[in-house]
Chain A
Amino acid sequence: DSGVTQTPKHLITATGQRVTLRCSPRSGDLSVYWYQQSLDQGLQFLIQYYNGEERAKGNILERFSAQQFPDLHSELNLSSLELGDSALYFCASSPSQTGTGNTEAFFGQGTRLTVV
């Protein structure tokens, strides 16, 4: 158990809908990262938050947004869903911003999103 909790584990929804994925980082970790893992594109970094502020952005679509709350949990919002959004969405947390000191990131078990 990595200490990172993601809910829900599975989600099935229809095209055009909006969903929210939730991540609780390990206790004390300030950084939260979101990743998408699809069958045809491997693991893609989406976005990073550090202590409530956006720190780094990857290949995140405009239809997707995220935020980190004062209690450090994070939510990833996916809207106007398309079939191609079906994927595993992982959250990871680490104590610090990557590149300084201990940069190990711990991953949650992921949320499997299926868009039908």
Chain B
Amino acid sequence: GESVGLHLPTLSVQEGDNSIINCAYSNSASDYFIWYKQESGKGPQFIIDIRSNMDKRQGQRVTVLLNKTVKHLSLQIAATQPGDSAVYFCAEISSGGYQKVTFGIGTKLQVIP
């Protein structure tokens, strides 16, 4: 029979262009955020993190922006390459007592050569 799967938002980007992947989080008390990349058949891989007392953090070819006012997180990938094709997840972590980790559903990035 037919399988029913999660319909992930998909972003198609031309190779060499910049990509922006967005994530809305739910808990204003979250104090830490992580972006993960998951390639087909593999486990999620850490890309970059940011604490709630920051609004921007840069890594190699990636930048994470945090807007706490509207509870929005974005991942910018510069000069997107075919190897960047994957599903990207954001995760929000709230500490204090039992720490809680919540993942977004993910965005599928397709890089067009």
Q: Measured between alpha carbons, how far is A40 from B41 in the docked complex, in Å?
A: 17
B interface residues, how many (CB within 8 angstroms) = 26
Min CB distance A46 to B, Å, is 10
Which of B6, B43, B99, B105 is in CB contact (< 8 Å) with A108? B43
Kindly report which residue of chain B lies nearest to residue A97, judged by CB atoms.
Answer: B99
Question: Cβ of B42 < 8 Å from any Cβ of A?
Answer: yes
Q: Check if B49 sits within 8 Å of A104, measured CB to CB.
A: yes
Q: Which residue of B lies closest to A45 (CB)?
A: B101
Residues B95 and A45 in contact, CB atoms below 8 Å apart: no
Whether B102 lies near A45 (C-beta < 8 A) is: yes
Would you list the 5 A-B pairs with minimal beta carbon distance, nearest first?
A107-B43, A45-B101, A43-B103, A42-B105, A39-B5
Binding site for A on B (CB under 8 A): 3-6, 31-32, 34, 41-46, 49, 89, 93, 95, 98-106
List 26 interface pairs A-B (beta carbons < 8 Å), by A numbering: A4-B43, A35-B103, A39-B4, A39-B5, A40-B5, A42-B89, A42-B106, A43-B44, A43-B89, A43-B106, A44-B103, A48-B99, A48-B101, A55-B98, A55-B99, A56-B98, A56-B101, A57-B98, A58-B100, A98-B32, A98-B93, A99-B31, A99-B99, A103-B49, A104-B46, A109-B42
